[in-house]
Structure 1
Amino acid sequence: MKNFTFKHVLAATASSAILGAMMATPSYAQSNTDVIEDEIISIGTRRTARSAADTPAPVDVISGVEFSNQAVGDITDLLRNVVPSYNVNTQPISDAATIIRPANLRGLSPDNTLVLLNGKRRHKGSVISFLGGGISDGAQGVDIGVFPSLALKQVEVLRDGASSQYGSDAIAGVINFALKDASEGGMVEASWGQTYKGDGDVYKIGANVGLPLGENGFVNITGEYGETKGTVRAADRSDVLALIAAGNTAVADFETVNSYTDEFAQYWGSPDIDDEIKLFVNAGYELSENAEVYAFGNYNERTATGGFFFRNPTNRGGVYRGPTINGGPSVLVGDLDGVGTGGSCPAGIPLLDDGLTLDPTVLATVTADPNCFSFVETIPGGFVPRFGGNNTDYSIAGGMRGALGGLGYDLSASLGVSDTDFFIKNTVNASLGPDTPRDFVPGAYKQKEVGFNADFNYGVDVDGWASPLNIAFGAEYREETFDITQGDAASFALGPLVSQGFSSSSNGFGGFNSSQSNSQDFYAGYLELEADITDALTLQGAMRYSDYQTFGDSLDYKIAGLYRVNDNVTLRSTYSTGFHAPSAGQATVRNVTTQIINGSLIDQGTIPLTTNPGQLAADFLEDSFGERPTLGTEKAKNLSFGTAFSTGPISWTFDYFNIKVDDRIALSDDIAFIDALNFLAANEGVTDYDNSTVANALTDLASAGALVRGDYVGFEDLTEFRFFTNSFSTKTQGIDIVAEAPLDFGQSGQTSMKLAANYTNTVVTDLGVVAPIDANRRLALEELLPEWRGNLTVNHQQGMWRGLLRANYYGPWFDNGNGYAVGGEFLFDAEIGAEVYEGVELILGAQNFLNNYPDENPGQTGTGQLYPEAGPFGFNGGQYYVKARYTF
């Protein structure tokens, strides 16, 4: 039985409170309904009580019930199903991105989308996506997965640049999650699902309840607990099968092993999500007709565990791979009392002509000598690390809003924290030799944001205008802090065997060798004007000045208009400038990852420019390109125009967008580490060192006084390294199409149809001058996402029965990691529900019920990746699920 910890107490307390409220609250006929009749929105305009149809920029409004009537999954996947320009993938082997998955709007970086909660800026997640498939590389976005669908009244997606209205990040658009605010009624839901292959079990139990707060207020509470078991979609690796055929009985056959804890089975699939708790509270109280106080917040936690690639016992660098002996490969051997002290050890155990079998004579000599050590003695079959993290996310925001005379005001403050404690198991710190632990705590990342906002609006009558001129203005102050917590000593130790070619730090995800903290603050002021000049014409203008402590200031503006040609046709257009400032985390973080480059596994390091290795990179690049890399803000220009019209009962919207982003913040192209060390050696006058490997070069350069060895702990096995800088530029353009209609087939009941489609095309217009992005990265930016996405959803309600049928289309795309074109796919979802008793609904459904998969990876035997990692709809196949729901 699991330990009964604080998180279980919290979940039990929340559930008890909600269930108790249900018992004490009389039944209300769907009083907590999710139906949004007039689609009143809170983004895109600061005029009150405006609908999505009245704004110059397109805003999608998705009711909470649209999320509830889907398969069992987190909100990140559910949002993908209803917003075609929104993309997220499964992240099977993606380091920290497995814990907080990056998501893209309109093909841009995750941190180019501003996320709001109840109209207030949401804090970033603590994870930086180092393995983002080329599009999300280096992004630090918001953790959207924390939101439970039961807590959502509606989600508003502003498909337009809005930096002049909301500040940094709002280049691709804005997503606002609006929490339920009912003071009565509620819902309880239990669900379970499983893939067609019999894995990936997911279960959730959650509840929402609205309670009165005195006579003039409300408290709305949502709690959810769930777990998701991982999936395995690995292929047989050719190197593993060859080792088994050669008689290495310590290597497991991947085809027969389907255990998430087996030491040697490569785990390639969806991660395990354990003990996931989601708790959200939304509250408000009217002090008078013109004043209200409000507060909302959340507490979430979860443990995510994913897999890493197999470490081959014949050639994994820094652990097994030895020097060339007699023209052939060998397995590394360490001399435990030091080279030149006591008895000598061979430099390596030669491999026989098959390249798989160890020379038995030399192996016997090493095994018999306690002074000689090789990892084939203790881990003869290789190993596969399991990596994950415990993530905690919490926030609180509150304030007062109302009106003083004709002046509306909203004064608020907020605190948001995301904290991820990493762990890595079944790996080694090779430099510690036989004394290495197998499990490590590499450290933690923590993102903390504190904000203060003062927002005002005032209406001024203007003669001849159809509405008052709404003048909105305000100011914001925000501080963000990114903390790195030191890992356990063994996770970053520079052990005694490091000088003999064994790599330091926990293999796969090296520990942080010191705790660091970096903060930055900014302030901003804005002015926004909007009015109906005539009954047909609405104009909007906005301007915002932002000043970042570290990265300077930015002045952005927006002009927009809406013209009603007649009752059935509307035209709209916007033009705006925008910006995105680097986060404190991007300026601070360091990391080592293993990634597939052109079919091979390569260790890559990310190093801040402010560190000594970062300055080495800057010196090297300045010498190579004549320009020194820096890190600053990126700039954007957004243009959109569209139309909304009706053809009989069908309403249509067509919108074109064009987004140009210059000097994009991203990880630089990868630099060959040995080239940078050669440059340093030449400048320092060091000419007689062994530069055959990075480890040897570091040791010899340190001996010559050219560098401080401790600055490079964990870098011994790096092939490449990179850093955050402003490099390339892009142009992204496309169209959004939305159609909605009631359907009448002559039957009783109600049927509705909604079509949503998106075309997005990105072109890299400038590769950059300093460390320009390479062809592979450019290919990812331009081809990794399908250009066409769309879905057609039909809902039907008749008596006690309710049904949903959805067709999803994902266009062709190119998997740059494995180098092959992936064809388009149609996926179909279906759900049927029956209200078997008043307020009680039983639901049966299937997602991707035809069990479609993406095209298989032609290089699967080399990496164990059966399907493309960046697949836009995943690779788990079909899922069936059941739900029981009680609405009161």
Structure 2
Amino acid sequence: MKKILFCSTALAMIAPVAAQAADQEPTSEIIVTGTRQTGMKAADSAAPIQLIGAQAFQSVGQQDLTQVLAQTLPSLNFQGLGGDTANLTLSAALRGISPNDTLVLINGKRRHTTANLAVLGGSPFSGSATTDLSFVPTNSIGRVEVLQDGAAAQYGSDAIAGVVNIQLKNADHGGTITATGGSNYQNGGKTAAVGSNFGFKLGEKGFINITGEYKFHDYTQHGNYDRRFFYADGSFKPGLSTTVVNGLKSNPYYPNVNRINGDARYTIYNLSFNAGYDVGSDAQVYAFGTYGNRNARSFQNYRNAERVSGTTSTGTTVYPLSQGFLPQENIREEDFSLTAGIKGKAAEWNYDLSATYGKDAVGLYTINSANPTLFSMLQSASATPLTGIQRNFYDGQLSNSEWVANIDVSRDFEIGTEKPLTLAMGGEYRNGNYSISQGEYASYIFGGAQSYPGFAPTDAGSFGRKSYAGYVDVAADPIKGLHVDVAGRFEHYSDFGSVWIGKGNARYDFSEKFAVRGTVSNGFRAPTLAEQYYSSVNVGPGSTFGQLPPNSAAAQLLGFAKLRPEKSVNFSGGVVLHPAPKLQITIDAYQIKIKDRIVPSGDIFGTLGTTTVSAAVVNALTSRGVSLADATSYAGINIFTNGVSTRTRGVEATANYASDFGDMGKVDWSLGVNYNKTEITKIASLPAAVYNAAQGQTKLLTQNAMDALTTATPRMKVIANALWSKGKFQVNLRETIYGTTSQHVSTDGSGNCNSTTGEACQLLKIGTTLITDLNVGYKLTPRVRFDVGANNLFDKQAPTTPTIFKGTTSERPLSGNVYNAALGFTPWGINGGYYYARATFNF
């Protein structure tokens, strides 16, 4: 890997490469992210900023902003597969750190976050409750500015790894309609999307730009037989009852009855607008907003025909679901955001006053399921078999909302320096609310519906938080070639107090061809309200786990403290080179140290089979009304905690160049390389109430959970891009190299992974892999363009889970219930090649 990194970095230093289309000069565009100065260009920035324009959206098949960013930025990794409801809202992470540590802005204003918290441990994306980029229609985006530097002193909480600032289109005329469809080469996953964007004048002094979007994605399916009933060759295991076998054979999916491994099916409808109107010569009132609606569902583990049974009052046994059943988790989500403000200039001061309201509400349902205990009780009171067993359950609602009010002012002062000194200052007020509404009675009583019980009254609640902040930012060029920017910020939160943070960065241009730059800053991330208060139960075949809110009384009784903010210290330094006309190279090294990082714990067991590991955990579960009837294999809790401190070190190199070959056309080349390594420097102790050395429960994080933070995402990612343009044709070829990823899995399936007690770990490793993407575009007319292409052109499939204990009744996949299931931490995704076609109509 080190050799690959060295060669890639050397190539970035010498190869002629480019990041955008030839008709754009991205480094000469004015930026608004990472600086309070007006007129700053990306090429002159003291911090690394990457611009993503229209060409990037044309060269990616899946028209989702997260996919576009992941296939464009070497420092960003996309989640290929989520567990439970996390599979319904996948996320992405910048620089190998939690998705929560990247702040998302729209037109420079803070965007609200999702209410759907990713809770299952063992994933690099566990704990994610960040902005859901699926609700930002791609046709509404003018460009995206990605600041890859700590910026909490400038923007507040969450900006530890960087900032993604989405700039919406503001044209007052013309428009675009796009239609695209595609599918994976195998595994399913048909997709379709239609989007439109139009600009209109508002009188003589204003504009409104409107976008509509529809997206559909079908299920994908991986793996084959279920290890509980089959051997890896598809033959039945001994000891199965006639009822179970007949149910499997009559199931419409037989023999691959378990379809838990794969993408969710979803439909998304999005609307957005961006508007402004000039009032007087030096002021503009503006507004922008989005509305999104998602309906998504994903499969859970198959339940056999005997899982739901009852006995009539006359003593007859009844199996109402003779084929068994596949529960599904279903969300019906609405996402809304509106910003309004006024900006302009008065008495030499630039000002911007705005207010933003955002809300994400997720209704959760368990469908095609059943409540076994409730059915058994009802059946026992009837002499005849019951009909019309309840299959669909309303589990409750998660809601996250936030009000944000901002005032920002700035002014330039002539003080005799090379350029005027810019003084910027401002304030921010935030009022957030997170709530859990209980589900219907049948969804949670007596253990609830299979796979995902509804929220019980003990889970429900409404929780709020207020904060206010003030900042000062001073930027100046004291002498020719030297730019210095210093910022300080104070924030106070109603639930955990105050923080002071600062940032300083500088750049010195020795000449037009060579500059050095560097940054030092400290930052923080406030725990999300979801992390603090989310409570739920997950029921699997043979297991029951409760997600315990860290700010609850039960958590404190177990010895866990309430969540505190993460605190970070960032250092970066680099060079900017212009060794030849139209060629720019940047190389930046960085270090991010995070103290009290909020992570999900490993599985903390209350019981393993009939053995009690921690009576306190059992009591915590039962006190919240959790039934352990299904916990024949194990029961326990998961909890978010300030569990670790980490250090991430890395290097990022980019280069771009556009070459002209005359009659042979033009080629724009690009290369981006990112290498980083995260190490755990400290792990919090496991509280005494849940500690059990005899059962191997001695650490807060299992090896699997530690791997999720350190090795389950690639340390290296390289993106090389070539865009050839000639007349009406454009061909875009992108090569992405993903470095090695690995994760330990316990051979007994419990997650303990502790070799000292005989529960050995097995390392799953994915080697360095090259993925090829190809897009071919043709302009039929100046207004009509057609594209065909493929992501993962050569259909590189994800590695699969190995089979262990072969040839015995214990034969099974190393993890999960399905043989040959794709490894969820595969960095290029689990679905292999994807082909598509797209039509674009410009007006």
Normalised to the residue count of structure 2, the TM-score between the two structures is: 0.85
Distance 1:819 1:602, change over 3 A: farther
**Residue 201 of structure 2 is aligned to residue 208 of structure 1:** no
**Residue 528 of structure 2 is aligned to residue 586 of structure 1:** no
Which of 410, 430, 446 is the matching residue for 1:457?
A: 410
Deviations 1:290-321 (A, max 9, x none): 1111100001111111111233568xxxx58x
Residues 102 and 132 in structure 1, CA contact (< 8 A), matched pair in contact too: no
* Residue equivalent to 2:292: 300
Q: How does 1:184-333 map to 2 (within 5 A)?
A: 184-197=173-186, 199-241=188-230, 244=236, 248-252=244-248, 257=253, 264-274=257-267, 276-311=268-303
* Residue equivalent to 1:742: 658
* Residue equivalent to 2:575: 643
Distance 1:726 1:294, change over 3 A: same
Distance 1:669 1:521, change over 3 A: same
**Residue 111 of structure 2 is aligned to residue 167 of structure 1:** no
Q: Distance in 2 between matches of 1:84 and 1:457?
A: 34
**Residue 471 of structure 2 is aligned to residue 539 of structure 1:** no
Which of 590, 614, 620 is the matching residue for 1:657?
A: 590
Residues 555 and 561 in structure 2, CA contact (< 8 A), matched pair in contact too: no
* Residue equivalent to 1:823: 767
Q: How far has the Cα of 1:693 moved from its partner?
A: 6.8
Q: Distance in 2 between matches of 1:114 and 1:371?
A: 61
Which amino acid counterpart does residue 642 of structure 1 have in structure 2?
G
* Residue equivalent to 1:499: none
Q: How does 1:779-794 map to 2 (within 5 A)?
A: 779-794=707-722
Q: Distance in 2 between matches of 1:527 and 1:567?
A: 30
Q: Distance in 2 between matches of 1:793 and 1:824?
A: 18
Residues 181 and 210 in structure 1, CA contact (< 8 A), matched pair in contact too: yes
* Residue equivalent to 1:384: 326
Residues 251 and 324 in structure 2, CA contact (< 8 A), matched pair in contact too: no
* Residue equivalent to 2:64: 74
Q: Which protein shows a greater Rg?
A: 1
Residues 658 and 731 in structure 1, CA contact (< 8 A), matched pair in contact too: yes
Distance 1:741 1:490, change over 3 A: same
Q: How far has the Cα of 1:369 moved from its partner?
A: 6.8
Distance 1:208 1:642, change over 3 A: same
Which amino acid counterpart does residue 773 of structure 1 have in structure 2?
L
Deviates more, 1:584-593 or 1:294-303: 584-593
* Residue equivalent to 2:702: 774
Residues 505 and 713 in structure 1, CA contact (< 8 A), matched pair in contact too: no
Q: Distance in 2 between matches of 1:254 and 1:737?
A: 57
Secondary structure of the corresponding residue to residue 728 of structure 1: strand
* Residue equivalent to 1:568: 513
Residues 735 and 770 in structure 2, CA contact (< 8 A), matched pair in contact too: yes
Q: Distance in 2 between matches of 1:776 and 1:710?
A: 29
Q: Distance in 1 between matches of 2:155 and 2:593?
A: 19
RMSD: 2.8
Normalised to the residue count of structure 1, the TM-score between the two structures is: 0.81
Q: Distance in 2 between matches of 1:765 and 1:384?
A: 42
Residues 518 and 585 in structure 1, CA contact (< 8 A), matched pair in contact too: no
Which amino acid counterpart does residue 867 of structure 1 have in structure 2?
A
Q: Distance in 2 between matches of 1:709 and 1:424?
A: 22
Which amino acid counterpart does residue 193 of structure 1 have in structure 2?
G
Deviates more, 1:377-386 or 1:538-547: 377-386
Q: Distance in 1 between matches of 2:127 and 2:187?
A: 35
Secondary structure of the corresponding residue to residue 723 of structure 1: strand
Distance 1:616 1:265, change over 3 A: same
Distance 1:110 1:541, change over 3 A: same
Q: How far has the Cα of 1:715 moved from its partner?
A: 5.4
Which amino acid counterpart does residue 249 of structure 1 have in structure 2?
V
Distance 1:108 1:254, change over 3 A: farther
Distance 1:871 1:585, change over 3 A: same
* Residue equivalent to 1:853: 797
Q: How does 1:693-732 map to 2 (within 5 A)?
A: 711-714=624-627, 717=631, 719-732=635-648
Deviations 1:331-384 (A, max 9, x none): xx88xxxxxxxxxxxxxxxxxxxxxxxxxxxxxxxx68745767xx33455433
Which of 432, 439, 449 is the matching residue for 1:487?
A: 439
Which amino acid counterpart does residue 422 of structure 2 have in structure 1?
N
Distance 1:232 1:838, change over 3 A: same
* Residue equivalent to 2:80: 90
* Residue equivalent to 2:783: 839
Distance 1:36 1:57, change over 3 A: closer
Which amino acid counterpart does residue 637 of structure 1 have in structure 2?
V
User: What is the percentage of aligned positions where both structures have the same residue?
Assistant: 31
Secondary structure of the corresponding residue to residue 241 of structure 1: coil
Deviations 1:145-180 (A, max 9, x none): 112221110001100001111001000110001100
Deviates more, 1:232-241 or 1:298-307: 232-241
Deviations 1:217-266 (A, max 9, x none): 1111111112111111123233332584655433447999399xx9x442
Deviates more, 1:285-294 or 1:193-202: 193-202
Deviates more, 1:561-570 or 1:137-146: 137-146
* Residue equivalent to 2:599: 666
Q: Distance in 2 between matches of 1:854 and 1:652?
A: 33
Distance 1:843 1:393, change over 3 A: same
Deviations 1:560-610 (A, max 9, x none): 100001110110000000001112222211022368xxxx98543211134
Secondary structure of the corresponding residue to residue 420 of structure 1: strand
**Residue 549 of structure 2 is aligned to residue 608 of structure 1:** yes
| Structure 2, unaligned runs of 5 or more | 1-22, 379-388, 688-699, 746-761, 805-811
Distance 1:438 1:747, change over 3 A: same
Deviates more, 1:745-754 or 1:182-191: 745-754
Deviates more, 1:770-779 or 1:279-288: 770-779
Residues 68 and 149 in structure 1, CA contact (< 8 A), matched pair in contact too: no
| Structure 1, unaligned runs of 5 or more | 1-32, 321-332, 335-366, 495-503, 619-627, 676-689, 702-706
* Residue equivalent to 1:466: 418
Q: How far has the Cα of 1:127 moved from its partner?
A: 0.8
Secondary structure of the corresponding residue to residue 250 of structure 1: helix
Distance 1:207 1:508, change over 3 A: same
Q: Distance in 1 between matches of 2:621 and 2:145?
A: 52
Residues 244 and 251 in structure 1, CA contact (< 8 A), matched pair in contact too: no
* Residue equivalent to 1:806: 734
Q: How does 1:505-520 map to 2 (within 5 A)?
A: 505-514=448-457, 515-520=460-465
Distance 1:128 1:216, change over 3 A: same
Q: Distance in 2 between matches of 1:132 and 1:629?
A: 19
Q: Distance in 2 between matches of 1:107 and 1:584?
A: 23
* Residue equivalent to 1:448: 401
**Residue 51 of structure 2 is aligned to residue 65 of structure 1:** no
Distance 1:710 1:798, change over 3 A: same
* Residue equivalent to 2:692: none
Q: Distance in 2 between matches of 1:543 and 1:417?
A: 29
Q: Distance in 2 between matches of 1:781 and 1:240?
A: 34
Q: Distance in 2 between matches of 1:397 and 1:35?
A: 30
Secondary structure of the corresponding residue to residue 475 of structure 2: strand
Residues 34 and 154 in structure 1, CA contact (< 8 A), matched pair in contact too: no
**Residue 548 of structure 2 is aligned to residue 548 of structure 1:** no
* Residue equivalent to 1:629: 561
Which amino acid counterpart does residue 534 of structure 1 have in structure 2?
I
Q: How far has the Cα of 1:802 moved from its partner?
A: 1.4
Q: Distance in 2 between matches of 1:780 and 1:99?
A: 20
Q: How far has the Cα of 1:426 moved from its partner?
A: 2.4
Q: Distance in 2 between matches of 1:182 and 1:451?
A: 27
Residues 97 and 132 in structure 1, CA contact (< 8 A), matched pair in contact too: no
Residues 79 and 125 in structure 2, CA contact (< 8 A), matched pair in contact too: no
Distance 1:783 1:251, change over 3 A: farther
